[in-house]
Amino acid sequence: MFKPATSDPRFERALGAYLGVAVGDALGAPVEFMTRREIAHRGIHHEMTGGGWLKLKPGQITDDTEMALCLGRAWMQAKGWNAKVSADYLAAWLRRRPIDVGNTCRRGIRRYMSDGSLEGPLSEGDGGNGAAMRIVPIALATCGDDAAFQVAALEQAHLTHHHPLSDAATLVLGRLVHILVAGGDIDACRALTDTFVSEFPKFAFTPYPRRASGYIVDTMQTVLHYFYCTDSFESCVTEVVNCGEDADTNGAIAGMLAGARYGVQAIPQRWLTRLDAAVASEIRQLTTGLMQIAK
């Protein structure tokens, strides 16, 4: 049974964000690469069934959560941001042959393993959502310090994804987490999102284009649309993963925002109890440590 949260609202929202990544990942992975219509034909997907193309166990996480755990571990070991320590953790993870890893992430980590470079060249092929999906530990550790957040967020991103749209999305997601963990309301989030879309019009999500691929624009449009038009953690994450396509990553990012907005107590207990117990325990430990670091 998952332990209840503390009475500290800031910690509850931070834990909700980190656990939300794992929950959204585990819920969405079994319907990854399915279409919206295929999922609907089987009935709404709202339980941690396992299965899918990866033949997962119920509640099993994938690379989205695993990479976010690597960055959290690295931050705690280095007692702050250290790009090389973070890259070393990701390289060790890749050597263990994870059940799933995106091509862009694999290519970037392998480049580091080969030549030690912590940043790949600017590339049009790096516009995926892999840098955004793992941002939660960095966002939590830098709550109250936007300058430190920007440095760490971009350095971790450029290890595998060096693209202006990936950068912009990664930064705005972390800043939304900052607002929500600090107790900011949905109007503050909307103001930041409106500025983001005005600066990068490709991300406009009204009317919703109904694409949910791993392209960072599609991911952000899907996540932001449902983040603003739903009113609970469960409804937000369920709506996102039922879009199919890159359902695990989109679910993970939606879970991060919804968890930060509603807090860990809003995550359905039936999902938390299905989640791998060791993963949930480590996320609680990392969240505690990262929030002690944050200002």
pLDDT tens track for 106-156:
999 999 999 999 999 999 999 999 999 999 999 999 999 999 999 999 999
pLDDT tens per residue across span 86-105: 999 999 999 999 999 999 99
- Phi/psi-derived region of residue 36, left when phi > 0, alpha when psi is between -120 and 50, beta in every other case: alpha
- What pLDDT was estimated at residue 45? 97
Residue 197 sits at the vertex; the CA angle it makes with 196 and 202, to the nearest 5 degrees, is 125
Task: Tell me what percent of the residues of the chain surpass a pLDDT of 90.
Answer: 97
pLDDT at 85 over 70: yes
> Any idea where the domains of the chain sit in the sequence?
9-293
101 token code pair: 């890893």
- What pLDDT was estimated at residue 294? 81
Task: Tell me what percent of the residues of the chain surpass a pLDDT of 70.
Answer: 97
How many angstroms separate the CA atoms of 71 and 202, rounded?
A: 29
Structural fold of domain 9-293: ADP-ribosylglycohydrolase fold (1.10.4080)
